Amino acid sequence: MSLLRPPSKSLFRPEKGIDQSPLIEYRDLVEKIERRNFLKGSLTLGALSMLTGCDVTETAQVQTALRAVSTWNDHAQELIFRPNHLAPTYDPSQVLKPPRFNAHYEVEDVKPVDAMTWRLELFGLIGDKQPWTATRMFSLPEQTMIIRHICIEGWDYIGEWSGVNLRAFLQTVGADLNAKYVAFQCADGYTESLDMATALHPQTMLALKYAGEVLPDPFGYPLRLRTATKVGFKNAKWVTALEVTNEFQQTYYSKEGFNWFSGI
Amino acid sequence: MEMHSPMVDRKDSEGTPLPERLARLEGDSPEARMSRRYPQKIRVARLLDAEIVADDRKVLGLIRQVVRAPDGKIRLIVAYSRWLGLFPRLVAVPIERVGSLGQQVGSIDMEESEYIAAPTWVEGVDHPISPDEEIRIALAKR
Amino acid sequence: MSQAHIDAPPTVATGRVRQLHPLPIRVMHWINALTIFIMIGSGWKIYDDDPIFGWLQFADFLTIGRWAQHGLQWHFFGMWILAANGLTYLIYGLRTGRFHRMLFPISLRQLLGNISDALHFRLAHDDPTQYNMVQRLLYLGVIGAGIAIVVSGLAIWKPIQFSGLVWLLGGFQTARLIHFLCMSAIFGFVLVHVTLALLVPHTIVTMLSGGPRIDPARSSQGPAPEIDTSI
């Protein structure tokens, strides 16, 4: 294997260096260290222990073990997932309008996407990587579904989404459907990814509308991912890029310790 | 199809104007705060009998009516109960001070102490809004 | 010595002579105790993220996990142990006849008598090899609650893959409520169980060392015969 690698064109290459995931949990502490210019460029658990006076190493080891179990759970869930089992659908009268807003920040901090300059960029194992404008996305055949959104917290609601079936879109752009993952990047820095089986599920779509109207800003305008078989946070909003890949990359919430597969 | 910049009315693929994006106001007035919370349209019928909750999740009461005051301001008339739903009395809550939490409404800018201190609402000058009418409500999250 | 003791020496028993709590039972019991502790502690953390009852939220120190995802991590770890250990226990209890021997029959008359004794602080525990009616019902109840909590847990873990199960249980939020109520029943059991074990501490020793040998051929009905516990 050559030590020299050409610079990667993908947006999704992980940063080099030690696995930062246990440190993500101690974000506040990490920021304190950075502000104090402490061990610049080389964050260590030992440094955190010294700073806080408490033994974070044990917690990190516990986290490592629990995350290994979570990875094992990913495999178990993949076995349980039935690729052609449809989620129950509901009546239009049951649709919640407006839907419930959620994000990892407050609604006031939602930054609207400029639709004039927005493109859906394509990366990875895709034949035609030309970016898509919103106009082009709206011109594709539209699928509508009324399904249950279930949050990891435990609340749920019935919602109606319309958009482009993801499998159909992947076929249109010549994606390799034998690849393992479809990854997404979002305007607010959020990242998510799906196993290919879920990406190809009949009820997985790139949604453009809610309850028959174009997605309002807080709900992902102009385009969001919408599945019927994943926990709420997997349904990324304000999607700006899509990559078909065989490389697994941690996502925003998996780095924090949430289960990556998170299928329902 | 025309795509406008986000700060003006957007149109969907048929050119139909989208729900207008209200200008986000600076300042601390209830109207300004509401404008920064991406208010969405909502049918009044959705609000009737919905629970209104405090920040600590305590149910403050049920929304019994939605009315428009003579100055044009919209108010939620809540059957507020201090203890376990007993002895409710009607309290007017300005729409600018709440946010939609999905099936519930969050009393995000009005604390329970203000409910306790508020005068009991009486019918008279405020006009009930028809259940089919659409008003705007801010968004909130827990 | 009583006549019963002389007439029924262990060596001619029709079943294998075993201790009151054989080693598999003791191992499974303590695994279960630790697992239930993990499941309830982490379950309360998950509950707090979207409480079913607004007036009920579990304080941080009562929960396992510093943040919400920790509760989920522990819960999705412990659930495998709970299910595997629980299933093994059920199979063991049925196949060795232990459930039949220890938990049946249920007699309402004896139950009422036991409750009356308990309220008058007269409920005897001289013979640890036989459970009284209150014990039998409590153990049967917690086994039932354990099965129900796993079933409802499967429904809320995979409400789409197991959508049929969710429908049977009355919907997603209802399945959550059932899961919570089963937890409450198990928690209530744990409080009673631990309290009584502390009041009769030799039962804890028994669950560690196995207790007296018993003849499985002996009928579990009627009054307990004398048993030489010096074995």
Tell me the per-residue pLDDT of A138-176, one tens digit each, with 9 for 90 and over.
999 999 999 999 999 999 999 999 999 999 999 999 999
- A102 has a chain B CB within 8 A of its CB: yes
| Per-residue pLDDT tens digits for C184-224 | 999 999 999 999 999 989 999 999 999 998 865 554 444 54
User: Which residue of chain B is at minimal alpha-carbon distance from C52?
Assistant: B57
- Give Cβ neighbours of residue A253 (< 8 Å, ≥ 6 apart): A192, A233, C69
Per-residue pLDDT of chain B (142 residues; tens, 9 = 90+): 333 333 334 544 434 444 445 678 989 999 999 999 999 999 999 999 999 999 999 999 999 999 999 999 999 999 999 988 899 999 999 999 999 999 999 999 999 999 999 999 999 999 999 999 999 999 999 9
Q: How confident is the model at residue A239 (pLDDT cuts 50, 70, 90)?
A: very high
Question: Which of C66, C74, C163 has its CB closest to that of A87?
Answer: C163
Please tell me whether residues C78 and C133 are part of one structural domain: no
Instruction: Note whether residue C13 is domain-resident.
Output: no
Chains with at least 3 CB pairs less than 8 angstroms from chain B: A, C
Nearest to A148 by CA among A48, A50, A232: A232
Which of A152, A156, A229 is the closest to C172 by Cβ?
Answer: A156
Residue in this structure with the two tokens 């305008």, named with its chain if needed: A221
Q: Residue A80: closest CA among chain C residues belongs to which residue?
A: C161
C2 within domain boundaries: no
| C3 within domain boundaries | no
Cβ within 8 Å, pair B141-A107 = yes
CA distance C142 to C190: 9
- What pLDDT, in 10s, does the model give residues A60-69? 899 999 999 9
What is the rounded average pLDDT of the residues C72-76?
A: 97
The answer to whether the Cβ–Cβ distance between A259 and C76 falls below 8 Å is yes
Mutation target vs B (from A148, A158, A210, A217; most B CBs, 10 A cutoff): A217
User: What is B39-139's CATH superfamily?
Assistant: PRC-barrel domain (2.30.30.240)
HEC assignment per residue over A163-227: EEEHHHHHHHCCECCCCCEEEEEECCCCEEEEEHHHHCCCCCEEEEEECCEECCHHHCCCCEEEC
Q: What does the buried/exposed string (b/e) look like for B16-25 if buried means 16 or more CB atoms within 10 Å of the residue's CB?
A: eebbebeeee
Mean pLDDT of chain C: 88
CATH code of domain A92-255? 3.90.420.10
**Residue C195, in any domain of the structure:** yes
State whether residue A112 sits within 8 Å of chain B by CB.
yes
How many residues comprise chain A?
264
State the Cα–Cα distance between residues C85 and C79, nearest whole angstrom: 10
Does the pLDDT value for residue A27 go beyond 80? no
Domain co-membership, C91 together with C74: yes
Q: What is the mean pLDDT of residues A30-51?
A: 46
Q: Residues of B with CB below 8 A from A216's CB?
A: 19, 38, 40
- Asked if C67 and A263 come within 8 Å (Cβ–Cβ), the reply is no
Which residue from C minimizes the CA distance to B57?
C54
Work out the minimum CA distance from C69 to partner chain A, whole angstroms: 5
The domain spans of chain B are 39-139
Would you give the distance in Å from CA C92 to the centre of its chain? Answer: 14
Which pLDDT belongs to residue C66?
87
The minimal CB distance from A214 to the residues B12, B43, B140 is found for: B12
Determine whether the interchain pair A116/B5 forms a contact, defined as Cβ–Cβ distance below 8 Å. yes
- Is there a single domain that holds both residue C44 and residue C110? no
pLDDT classification of A115: cutoffs 50, 70, 90: confident
Whether C59 maps to a domain, the answer reads: yes
Of A152, A229, A259, the CB nearest to C160: A229
Q: Which residues lie closer than 8 Å to B105 by C-beta, 6 or more apart?
A: B47, B50, B51, B52, B53, B63, B76, B98, B99, B137
Can you give the residue range of the structural domain that contains C176?
A: 104-120+127-218
Reported as a single tens digit per residue, the pLDDT across C147-163 is 999 999 999 999 999 99
Please report, for chain A, how many H helices and E strands are present, in that order.
8, 9
CB-based contact C161 A81, cutoff 8 Å: yes
- Which of the other chains make 3 or more beta carbon contacts under 8 angstroms with chain A? B, C
Q: What is the pTM of this model?
A: 0.85
In a domain, C87, yes or no: yes
Rounded to whole angstroms, the Cα distance separating B20 from B11 reads: 9
- φ and ψ at residue A157, rounded to 5 degrees: -155, 160
In a domain, C226, yes or no: no
Residues C32 and C82 in one domain: yes
CA angle C178, C180, C181 (to 5 degrees): 65
Instruction: Say if residue C79 is in the same domain as residue C184.
Output: no
- The answer, for B106 touching chain A at a CB cutoff of 8 Å, is no
C50 touches chain A (CB under 8 A): yes
**Segment 66-85 of chain B within 8 Å of chain A by CB:** none
Choose from B2, B11, B14, B141 for mutation: most chain A CBs within 10 A: B141
Bridge partners of residue B61, in order along the sequence = B52, B80
User: Which residues of chain A does CATH 3.90.420.10 include?
Assistant: 92-255
Q: Which candidate, C146, C138, C135, places its Cα nearest to that of C183?
A: C146
Q: What is the pLDDT of residue A2?
A: 33
**Residues of chain C neighbouring A256 (CB-CB closer than 8 A):** 67, 69
Mutation target vs C (from B51, B57, B62, B141; most C CBs, 10 A cutoff): B57
Hey, is the C-beta of B98 within 8 angstroms of any chain A C-beta? no
| Min Cα separation B90/chain C (Å) | 22
If asked whether residues C89 and C139 sit together in one domain, one would say no
Q: Is residue C49 part of a domain?
A: yes
